[in-house]
Amino acid sequence: MKNFLRISFLIALFFGFQFNSNAAEKVEYLKTDWSFKGPFGKFDRAALQRGYQVYQEVCSSCHSMKYLSYRNLVEEGGPEFSVEQAKAIAASFEIKDGPNADGEMFMRPGRLSDKFVMPYENEKAAQAANGGAYPPDMTVLVKARGGGVDYIYSLLQGYEDPPAGVTLDDGVYYNKYMYGNKIKMSNQLSDGLVEYSDGTNASVEQMAKDVTTFLMWTAEPHLETRHRMGFKAIVYLIILTVLVYFSMKRIWSRIETKV
């Protein structure tokens, strides 16, 4: 048994180093309680729906969401809009389709099977409209940033006047959580910017939390299934391990060597 402690220690050491190396250049991010953290974490359905609203009304004018389809909004483990709601959301967008029988491209209302409409035709158009900076696609954004959800949540609230001595070019803003502190996105959130249909007070903090929750879901749409399955898998493995341990003891009891 002592050997297991040694093995565990070695494993801990290995990954301790790894965590440590990831922790370089750490900034203290704003903290909040995320409902999806931990082995039993689930998304807050209402927060996801509000987060979608913030994304739609604020972020989506510049940031694409190219790996998400409108049908995903209905799926289990997500915002779980009703089919009618999601159809209405999809239909509110015009989708370029075609070519039709005459060889013409045409516009039609969106369907559940459509991908989220992109704000710009292409990357160059996005850059041209944003002073040369490309607003990154948001689908897996929280996984693509070292600090994850805490980083996005903090960044949205991290706008400040630049400290003395820091000069900013036109179209560049100061954000204390941004890598290098200079960001080309201006402060987007202000109190009461959106009107939540469930009556929640749309404070900056609330909107930042809701939209970040939504982005966590877009990045990990199967998070709830993963957590549920993980718990079952690990409980199953532990039970099996215990059974095998006693079988092993029994089998090895035939010879004098300890196992």
Q: What is the helix, strand, coil percentage profile of the chain, to 5?
A: 45, 5, 50
Query: At its nearest, how many Å lie between another protein and the CB of residue 216?
Result: 12
Per CB under 8 A, the segment of 14-22, 85-93, 199-207, 208-216 that binds another protein is 14-22
Residues 180, 182, 188, 189, Cα dihedral to 10°: 50
Query: At its nearest, how many Å lie between another protein and the CB of residue 4?
Result: 7
Instruction: Indicate whether 196 belongs to the interface with another protein (CB under 8 A).
Output: no
Measured CA to CA, the distance from residue 139 to residue 123 in angstroms comes to: 16
Is 117 within 8 Å of 190 (Cβ atoms)?
Answer: no
Instruction: Indicate whether 125 belongs to the interface with another protein (CB under 8 A).
Output: no
Q: Which helix (H) or strand (E) holds 103?
A: none
Total residues in contact with another protein, by rule CB under 8 A: 54
Is 154 within 8 Å of 29 (Cβ atoms)?
Answer: yes
Query: At its nearest, how many Å lie between another protein and the CB of residue 195?
Result: 31
CA angle centred on 213, ends 37 and 43, rounded to 5° = 55
- Of the candidates 69, 60, 52, the one whose C-alpha atom is nearest the C-alpha of residue 110 is 69
Instruction: Indicate whether 24 belongs to the interface with another protein (CB under 8 A).
Output: yes
Measured CA to CA, the distance from residue 20 to residue 31 in angstroms comes to: 20
Instruction: Indicate whether 121 belongs to the interface with another protein (CB under 8 A).
Output: no
Query: At its nearest, how many Å lie between another protein and the CB of residue 139?
Result: 7
Per CB under 8 A, the segment of 20-28, 44-52, 99-107, 170-178 that binds another protein is 20-28
Instruction: Indicate whether 7 belongs to the interface with another protein (CB under 8 A).
Output: yes
Instruction: Indicate whether 113 belongs to the interface with another protein (CB under 8 A).
Output: no
Indicate the DSSP class of residue 163.
P
What are 75's two structure tokens? Answer: 């799926």
Q: Which helix (H) or strand (E) holds 128?
A: helix 123-129
- Among 95, 179, 196, 203, which residue interacts with another protein (rule: CB under 8 A)? 179
- Among 3, 113, 122, 167, which residue interacts with another protein (rule: CB under 8 A)? 3
Per-residue binder mask for another protein (CB under 8 A), 135-164, x = binder: -x--xx--xxxx-x----------------
- Among 113, 167, 197, 257, which residue interacts with another protein (rule: CB under 8 A)? 257
- Of the candidates 204, 181, 90, 183, the one whose C-alpha atom is nearest the C-alpha of residue 136 is 183
Q: Smaller CB distance to another protein: residue 83 or 237?
A: 237
What are 90's two structure tokens? Answer: 């999809």
Query: At its nearest, how many Å lie between another protein and the CB of residue 116?
Result: 13
Is 183 within 8 Å of 162 (Cβ atoms)?
Answer: no
Binding site for another protein (CB under 8 A): 2-4, 7, 10-11, 13-15, 17-22, 24, 39, 67, 72, 136, 139-140, 143-146, 148, 179, 219-222, 226-227, 229-231, 233-234, 237-238, 240-241, 244-245, 247-248, 251-252, 255-259
